[in-house]
Amino acid sequence: MLFQDRSTKVFVAALISIGIGTVVLKTLGSSPLEAGAFSLSEYYHLKPVEEIVSSNVARISRHWNSIEISYTDAAQIVTNEQSSASSPVNHALLNYHFIVCGGLIGEDGQIQSTEEWQRQLSTTPVGTWYGSDQTIHIGVIVDDRMTHATDFQIKRTEMLVKVLSRRLGIQPASIRYPDNWWQWRAWSRSS
């Protein structure tokens, strides 16, 4: 008899919890909970990576053999008139095939292909880039207050790299991330 009483109490408590959860979710309606480090609902509003890689490209004609990801300063990309999150990036100022926005420019995690990718042109290696004319360059936009990628940028960049490497046969050893990429990736997963 004692077992049945306890089972009944647990069952009633579960039903009450489900009821309260339903009321809370119905009250919130379509507005998501305040996002912390990652919000799945916002993530799914972004354009699929496969579509970005394929869009505006007649065919991938170049033999790409490596991928290099680097940070790029938001101040170098936009002018004062373009500094809102909804503003498009001025691709003429870029030396990348893809850029991953961080909320300062474009939506956080938004990936934009540049004219270099659409026309299958190589970029000019500068600074600390190690690639060649067969390297796909991906720029992750940060600013002086943010010295690492956001959680959205990390997830979307990794998805872009996965799609590109699978589609083009690029080996993991030919993919280069910024030096502190894995440090921030581990931090974002632990918080």
Distance separating alpha carbons of residues 185 and 71, to the nearest angstrom: 14
| CATH code for the domain defined by 40-190 | 3.40.80
Alpha helices (H) along 56-180:
74-77, 115-118, 151-168
Name the residue with higher pLDDT: 14 or 178: 14
For residues 83-101, average pLDDT = 65
Given a cut of 70, whether residue 179 has pLDDT beyond it is yes
In degrees to the nearest 10, what's the CA dihedral of 164, 93, 75, 162? 0
Phi and psi torsions of 67, nearest 5°: -130, 135
191 pLDDT more than 70: no
What pLDDT is stored for residue 149 in this prediction?
Answer: 83
pLDDT above 60 (res 99): yes
The Cα–Cα gap between 93 and 77 comes to 6
Least confident of 11-15, 23-27, 126-130, 167-171: 126-130
pTM flag (> 0.95) = no
Percent of the chain with pLDDT over 90: 20
pLDDT digits (tens, 9 = 90+) for 15-63: 999 999 888 888 776 655 554 555 555 555 677 777 777 765 556 667 8
